[in-house]
Amino acid sequence: MSGRLWFIVHGVYIQNEIIMRIEKYQIDEHNQQHLAQHKRQFEFVAESVADISDVMKKLQAFNIAIPSWALGTGGTRFGRFSGGGEPRSLEEKIEDVGVIHALNKSSNSISLHIPWDIPENAGAIKSLAAQLGLHFDAVNSNTFQDQPNQKLSYKYGSLHHVDKAVRKQAIEHNIEVIKYGVQLDSKALSVWLSDGSNFPGQLNFRKAFQNTLESLQEIYQALPDDWKMWIEYKPYEPNFYSTTIGDWGQSYLLASKLGSKASTLVDLGHHLQGANIEQIVSLLLMEGKLAGFHFNDSKYGDDDLTVGSINPYQLFLIFNELVEGMDARGMNHATSIGWMIDASHNVKDPIEDLLQSVHAIKIAYAQALLVDKQALQSAQNNNDVAQAQEILQQAYRTDVRSLIAEASLLSGGALAPVDAYRKLNVRENLIKERGLKTVATGL
Ligand code: RM4
Ligand code: MN
Ligand code: MN
Q: Evaluate: CB of 304 within 6 angstroms of ligand 1.
A: no
φ, ψ (nearest 5 deg) of residue 218: -65, -40
Q: Name the pTM for this structure.
A: 0.95
Q: Evaluate: CB of 192 within 6 angstroms of ligand 1.
A: yes
Please tell me the distance from the alpha carbon of residue 415 to that of residue 408, in angstroms, as a whole number.
Answer: 6
Q: What is the DSSP string of 370-421?
A: HS-HHHHHHHHHTT-HHHHHHHHHHHHTS--HHHHHHHHHHTT--SSHHHHH
Ligand 1 pocket: which of 114, 158, 191, 294 to mutate (most atoms within 8 A of CB): 294
Contacts of 226 (CB under 8 A, 6+ apart): 187
Please tell me the distance from the alpha carbon of residue 114 to that of residue 136, in angstroms, as a whole number.
Answer: 13
Average pLDDT over residues 308-325: 98
What is the distance in A from the centroid of ligand 1 to the CA of 163?
24
What is the distance in A from the centroid of ligand 3 to the CA of 268?
8
Of the listed ligands, the closest to the CA of 341 is 2
302 CA closest ligand 1 atom index: 7
Q: Evaluate: CB of 294 within 6 angstroms of ligand 1.
A: yes
Q: Evaluate: CB of 302 within 6 angstroms of ligand 1.
A: yes
Residue located nearest, by CA, to atom 1 of ligand 1: 192
What is the distance in A from the centroid of ligand 3 to the CA of 232?
9
Predicted local distance difference test score (pLDDT) of residue 290: 98
What is the distance in A from the centroid of ligand 1 to the CA of 192?
6
What is the distance in A from the centroid of ligand 3 to the CA of 113?
13
How far apart, in Å, are the Cα atoms of 22 and each of 87, 307, 425?
17, 25, 10
Whether the Cβ atoms of residue 374 and residue 388 lie closer than 8 Å to each other: no
- 267, β-bridge pairs: 294
258-279 pLDDT, tens per residue? 999 999 999 999 999 999 999 9
Residue located nearest, by CA, to atom 7 of ligand 1: 302
Residue located nearest, by CA, to atom 6 of ligand 1: 443
Which value, to the nearest 10 degrees, does the dihedral of the CA atoms of residues 365, 367, 373, 376 take?
-130
Predicted local distance difference test score (pLDDT) of residue 425: 96
How far apart, in Å, are the Cα atoms of 282 and each of 124, 277, 286, 326?
40, 9, 6, 9
Among 314, 334, 256, 251, smallest CA distance to 57 is for: 334
Which value, to the nearest 10 degrees, does the dihedral of the CA atoms of residues 401, 406, 411, 414 take?
70
Picking from 5-14, 198-207, 208-217, which range would have the lowest pLDDT averaged per residue? 5-14
Q: Evaluate: CB of 140 within 6 angstroms of ligand 1.
A: yes
Helix, strand, coil shares of the chain as percentages rounded to 5?
45, 15, 40
Please tell me the distance from the alpha carbon of residue 416 to that of residue 41, in angstroms, as a whole number.
Answer: 13
Of the listed ligands, the closest to the CA of 267 is 2
Whether the Cβ atoms of residue 426 and residue 102 lie closer than 8 Å to each other: no
The helix (run of H) or strand (run of E) holding residue 219 is helix 205-221
Please tell me the distance from the alpha carbon of residue 303 to that of residue 299, in angstroms, as a whole number.
Answer: 7
Residue located nearest, by CA, to atom 5 of ligand 1: 192
354-390 pLDDT, tens per residue? 999 999 999 999 999 999 999 999 999 999 999 999 9
How far apart, in Å, are the Cα atoms of 324 and each of 49, 81, 319, 320, 385?
17, 42, 8, 6, 18
Predicted local distance difference test score (pLDDT) of residue 12: 41
1-28 pLDDT, tens per residue? 444 444 444 434 344 556 668 999 999 9
How far apart, in Å, are the Cα atoms of 37 and each of 34, 40, 414?
6, 5, 14
Predicted local distance difference test score (pLDDT) of residue 437: 75
Chain-centroid distance of CA 144 in Å reads 19
Whether the Cβ atoms of residue 260 and residue 291 lie closer than 8 Å to each other: no
Ligand 1 pocket: which of 192, 245, 293 to mutate (most atoms within 8 A of CB): 192
